[in-house]
């Protein structure tokens, strides 16, 4: 079991993996492209500043993004990669001060985001009691990924990030299986969970209101616009699940694993939705 020192260390790590826009050079508003859609009211090329970006790198319409058709901005989470690239990788020198570094910085940002996302998952895995038997492997993976985040820009761009993600995913899958092995003993005859199947299940628009989804494997599941209101998702693996417009009102996600703030931001919920302590209710959710 984690001692107090380890627990405090993991909490500090998680704090560093939360976005701090005040310490970022507006990288998500510049580096990333988007296309006019239900999530964005306009087209924007990668490397081109959004016209709402101000001289202080803050969004000029942050308080009304959803009303302006920019819902995608309210869903995105960089896991703290923005401030890492801005303040550590480039030592606080922004792309306006040093335009010769701009394109490189914009290319580094998505690499760093992937590393920080992995750090989020690995930190969570370290807190899960059933995964104690692979604690040393998780610690090595966490330390290696942290070392990558401290590399200079040119080395970050040479990283085989796909290979690293694949290696880390094997560990995260092993963690998930250790946590969910209770499913082989508890709720063995749950017909709903049998119906879901394996990774990447197509559950778009599924009627799962009040469903018992404890210990379910929802890795990469398509849950777009699914009705999960009142569902029990404790200890369900939600890594990579697409929760856009999923109804989570009154759902219990307290012990779900590998859930992110970005997934919640894309979903619908209310004050009765129960969340893990590391996550928060999006401000656009209905009270």
Cα 187 to its chain centre, rounded Å, is 29
Residues 15, 131, single domain; the answer is yes
**Statement to judge: residues 214 and 265 lie in one domain:** yes
Mean pLDDT of 145-149: 98
Contact present, 176 and 215 (Cβ < 8 Å): no
CATH number, position 226: 2.160.20.80
- The residue whose two tokens read 């990668």 is 46
Are residues 172 and 226 both part of a single domain?
no
Instruction: Based on the fold, state whether residues 172 and 286 are members of the same structural domain.
Output: no
Residue 70 falls within a domain, yes or no?
no
221 occurs within a structural domain: yes
Confidence of residue 125 (pLDDT cuts 50, 70, 90): very high
Please identify, among 154, 180, 206, the residue that sits at the C-terminal boundary of a domain: 180
pLDDT of residue 11: 60
Domain boundary among 119, 152, 180: 180
Together in a domain, 164 and 210: no
Residue at 42 is within a domain: no
Domain identity same for 249 and 196: yes
Above 60 in pLDDT, residue 4?
Answer: no
Indicate whether 208 and 176 sit together in one domain. Answer: no
Question: Is 41 inside any structural domain?
Answer: no
pTM for the predicted model, two decimal places: 0.90
Here the tokens at position 200 are 């990447």
Q: Is residue 52 part of a domain?
A: no
Of the three residues 161, 180, 199, the one that is the final residue of a domain is: 180
Residue 275's domain spans which residues?
Answer: 191-287
Number of domains forming the structure of the chain? 2
Residue 61 forms part of a structural domain: no
Kindly report, residue by residue over 181-221, the tens digit of the pLDDT: 865 665 555 656 555 656 678 999 999 999 999 999 999 99
Q: Does residue 87 form part of some domain? A: yes
- Asked if residue 23 and residue 100 are part of one domain, the reply reads yes
Asked whether residue 235 carries a pLDDT value surpassing 80, the answer given is: yes
Residues 15 and 141 in one domain: yes
**Token pair of 234, please?**
């404790």
Q: What is the pLDDT of residue 199?
A: 66
Give buried/exposed letters for 30-49 (b at 16+ CB in 10 A, else e). bbbebeeeebbeeebeeeee
User: Is residue 45, in this structure, part of any structural domain at all?
Assistant: no
Q: Confidence class of residue 83 from pLDDT cuts 50, 70 and 90?
A: very high
Both 159 and 255 in a single domain? no
Would you say residue 5 has pLDDT above 60?
A: no
What's the chain's average pLDDT? 91
Mean pLDDT of the 141-146 span = 98
Note whether 125 and 249 are same-domain residues. Answer: no
pLDDT (tens digit, 9 = 90+) per residue, 158-185? 999 999 999 999 999 999 999 988 656 6
Q: Which residue has the higher pLDDT, 181 or 99?
A: 99
11 and 140 co-located in one domain: yes
CB 276, CB 258: distance < 8 Å: no
């Amino acid at each position: 079991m984690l001692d107090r020192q380890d627990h405090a260390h993991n909490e500090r790590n998680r704090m560093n993996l939360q976005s701090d826009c005040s310490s970022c050079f507006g990288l998500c508003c510049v580096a990333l492209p988007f296309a006019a859609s239900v999530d964005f009211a306009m087209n924007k090329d990668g490397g081109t500043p959004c016209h709402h970006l101000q001289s202080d790198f803050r969004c000029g319409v942050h308080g009304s993004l959803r009303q302006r058709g920019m819902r995608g901005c309210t869903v995105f989470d960089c896991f703290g990669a923005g401030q890492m690239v801005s303040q550590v990788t480039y030592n606080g020198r922004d792309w306006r001060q040093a335009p010769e570094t701009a394109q490189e910085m914009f290319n580094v940002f998505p690499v760093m985001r992937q590393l920080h996302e992995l750090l989020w998952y690995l930190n969570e895995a370290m807190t899960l009691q059933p995964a104690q038997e692979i604690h040393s492997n998780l610690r090595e993976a966490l330390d290696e990924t942290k070392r990558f985040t401290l590399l200079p820009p040119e080395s970050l761009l040479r990283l085989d990030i796909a290979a690293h993600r694949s290696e880390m995913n094997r560990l995260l899958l092993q963690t998930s299986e250790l946590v969910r092995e209770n499913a082989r003993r508890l709720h063995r005859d749950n017909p709903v969970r049998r119906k879901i199947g394996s990774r990447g299940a197509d559950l778009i628009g599924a009627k799962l209101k009040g469903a018992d989804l404890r210990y379910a494997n929802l890795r990469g599941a398509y849950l777009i616009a699914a009705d999960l209101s009142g569902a029990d998702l404790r200890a369900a693996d939600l890594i990579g699940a697409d929760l856009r417009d999923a109804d989570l009102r009154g759902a219990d996600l307290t012990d779900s694993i590998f859930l992110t703030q970005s997934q919640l931001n894309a979903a619908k919920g209310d004050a009765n939705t129960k969340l893990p302590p590391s996550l928060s209710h999006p401000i656009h959710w209905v009270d």
